[in-house]
Amino acid sequence: MPLSHFLFFLFHPLCIIIKYHILSIGTGTVFVKIPILAVKERMPVFQVVEYKGTKEANYLLLIKQLKALVEDEENRIANLSNASALLNQFLTDINWVGFYLLEKDELVLGPFQGLPACVRIPVGKGVCGTAARERKAIRVPDVEQFPGHIACDARSRSEIVLPLIADGELIGVLDIDSPLKDRFDETDEKYLQMFADVLAQYVK
Ligand code: SME
């Protein structure tokens, strides 16, 4: 293709709209992966969708959205920030969702959505530190029954923490709090761990 035709296709507004629609149909999502075009056409980078399927199907759509958000970006903070925002608009009945990242032998607060939280948690302490030490998901149906639970937000009644592991290395944990007791079940654990496993590949 001659350069002039290529440039015409790249920048002509009509072609941009056509390409956008192809992308939307092709992926089944509504992310624009070409930021320069999004700016030019004033399209949103993220469009809220209704999660209308089964719980499992909704989680699979969420993971598809996660991949679309992070796959072209290498910056760890950007990807963790968007991942926490994505979870926050997906999950119901939660009051905190975010990341703690491993630095030496402690977890340090990373990107999150919710009230300001404790900054440093030693590995082995609290729910987060225990999940990090054991490198496995921990579901706490009632935080008052978990010895050593660290209360950052007084409203939290139940919690789930999932390890972020890439290439066998612990990167940190994904922590989610709910104001309801017993908010997280086995299905949540299964798919949130899948979410954490996918994300870990983009933040290592
Ligand atoms: N509850 C956590 C501390 C982090 S906050 O919930 C954000 C814990 O016990 O490790």
Question: Which amino acid appears at position 110 of this protein?
Answer: G
Atom of ligand 1 nearest to the CA of 156: 6
Protein residue closest via CA to atom 3 of ligand 1: 150
Atom of ligand 1 nearest to the CA of 114: 7
For the cut 90, the answer to whether the pLDDT of residue 4 exceeds it is: no
- The best mutation among 175, 176, 178, 184 to test binding of ligand 1, ranked by most ligand atoms within 8 Å of the C-beta, falls on 175
**Model pLDDT, residue 154:** 94
DSSP state at residue 187: H
Query: Which domains does the chain show, CATH number per domain?
Result: 3-41 (no CATH), 69-200 (3.30.450.40)
123-150 pLDDT, tens digit per residue, is: 999 999 999 999 999 999 999 999 999 9
152 lines ligand 1 (CB under 6 A): yes
Percent of the chain with pLDDT over 70: 80
Q: Report the predicted TM-score, pTM, of the whole model to 2 decimal places.
A: 0.82
Question: Sorting pLDDT into bands at 50, 70 and 90, what band is 67?
Answer: very high
Pairing of strands 138-140, 158-166: antiparallel
188 lines ligand 1 (CB under 6 A): no
93-129 pLDDT, tens digit per residue, is: 999 999 999 999 999 999 999 999 999 999 999 999 9
- The best mutation among 95, 143, 149, 160 to test binding of ligand 1, ranked by most ligand atoms within 8 Å of the C-beta, falls on 149
Long-range contacts of range 140-147, CB-CB < 8 Å, 24 or more positions apart? Answer: 141/181, 141/182, 141/184, 142/181, 142/182, 143/177
Chain mean position to CA 22 = 26
For the cut 50, the answer to whether the pLDDT of residue 175 exceeds it is: yes
